[in-house]
Chain A
């Protein structure tokens, strides 16, 4: 069994996945996406020989990962996660719509396509709200819109930013939550781990990349059901489903396509890399 792992940086996650797959007797091919040259005319068999029987796509760069995944899928390879899943998870606009469609509780969100209409959208939604980039992660560019006086300049700054995606305004209700959220790791049809992520001092965002700290979190029946519903809504795979504790119960606000699980691993007894590798190998055998 050849197990392909596509990366652009080897982090703790990629290293542990590689070591686990090797322990299980798989031949691991690690492929640096930054060095790839892909040929449109390549035959499926040649591509499979180079990339493996099953490929786990773990790029940090979203667009790079998506384009490599698309190539491999068109060449007939099985990639985890699927391109369609990455498309939905990598774009918060699509994630919200997919969660709404599947009736997964998710914060109410307004969409607008100019600064003027974005200002109108936040008025309709009410304060406080949150402006988020549609593509992007680690809490970057996530701005609280506390009132009209702070919202207007933030939206105007976004208008000045280059990049077509900056003109897609995604404005979400601010959920009254404790200073934490919940990261669940979904692998196939199972929630294998969960962790609270506490916002660091002097920040309201809980992202581990921003200094958020993880703590053990029990996988309750409600959490399990919601995380699996959310994973299913985006097409399934190996996913990081993030939940917030609202006064009315849990709401899902994000599903991550190339989930980081170092923080969750530190507070869970489950061997997360092993669960992921087992899932990937089981798909390869189908």
Chain B
């Protein structure tokens, strides 16, 4: 499955076992997206959150 990058039009490959909440990035411009919804033949992306100062483990 593939999606296209809103920023540069690059083709983003979506691995088969992907689930909602995972992060994918555009191979051309590097922009990160979060998988918002995914079914067998359809994927919906949204821009991923940027790293916050309280992020970590």
Say whether B54 contacts A257, CB under 8 Å. no
The interface stretch among A49-57, A58-66, A146-154, A212-220 is: A58-66
Q: Assuming A9-B34, A34-B49, A61-B52, is B57 touching A256 (CB within 8 A)? A: yes
Q: How far is the CB of B45 from chain A (nearest CB, A)?
A: 14
Chain A interface size, as a band, is: 20 to 34
- Most chain B Cβ neighbours within 10 Å, of A62, A209, A259: A62
Complex interface residues of chain B between 1 and 37 (CB less than 8 A to chain A): 19-23, 34
How many B residues face the partner with a CB closer than 8 A?
14
Give residues 234-286 of A contacting B (CB, 8 Å). Answer: 240, 256-260
Minimum C-beta distance from B16 to chain A (A):
13
Closest approach, in angstroms, between the C-beta of B8 and any C-beta of chain A?
23
Query: B23–A62 contact, CB under 8 A?
Result: no
- What's the nearest-Cβ distance from chain A to residue B50, in Å? 11
A30 within 8 A of B: yes
**Chain A residue, CB-CB nearest to B35:** A10
Q: How many cross-chain pairs have Cβ atoms below 8 Å apart between A and B?
A: 59
Among B19, B49, B55, B57, chain A packs the most CB atoms within 10 A around the CB of: B57
Asked if residues A259 and B49 are in contact (CB atoms below 8 Å), the reply is no
Is the pair A9, B21 in contact by a Cβ cutoff of 8 Å?
Answer: yes
B41 proximal to A (CB < 8 A) = no
Asked if A136 CB lies within 8 Å of chain B CBs, one says: yes
A29-70, CB < 8 A from B: 30, 32, 34, 60-64
Whether, in the assembled complex, A14 has its beta carbon less than 8 Å from a beta carbon of chain B, the answer is yes
Partner of B49, one of A8, A62, A258, A260: A8
Query: Which B residues are in CB contact (< 8 Å) with A34?
Result: 49
If A8-B49, A34-B49 touch, whether A138 touches B22 (CB-CB below 8 Å) is no
Interchain CB contact (< 8 A) of A61 among B34, B48, B55: B55
Taking a contact as CB atoms under 8 Å apart, the answer to whether B21 and A62 are in contact is no
Cross-chain contact A15 with B57 (CB below 8 angstroms): no
The answer to whether A138 and B21 have CB atoms under 8 Å apart is no
Name the residue among A8, A10, A135 with the largest chain B CB count within 10 angstroms: A10
- Which A residues are CB-close (under 8 A) to B23? 9-11
Contact A10–B21 (Cβ < 8 Å): yes
Q: A30-B19, A138-B57 are in contact. List 18 more A-B contacts (CB 8 A).
A: A7-B21, A9-B21, A9-B23, A10-B20, A10-B22, A14-B21, A15-B19, A15-B22, A30-B21, A32-B20, A60-B57, A61-B52, A61-B55, A62-B55, A140-B53, A163-B53, A259-B57, A260-B57
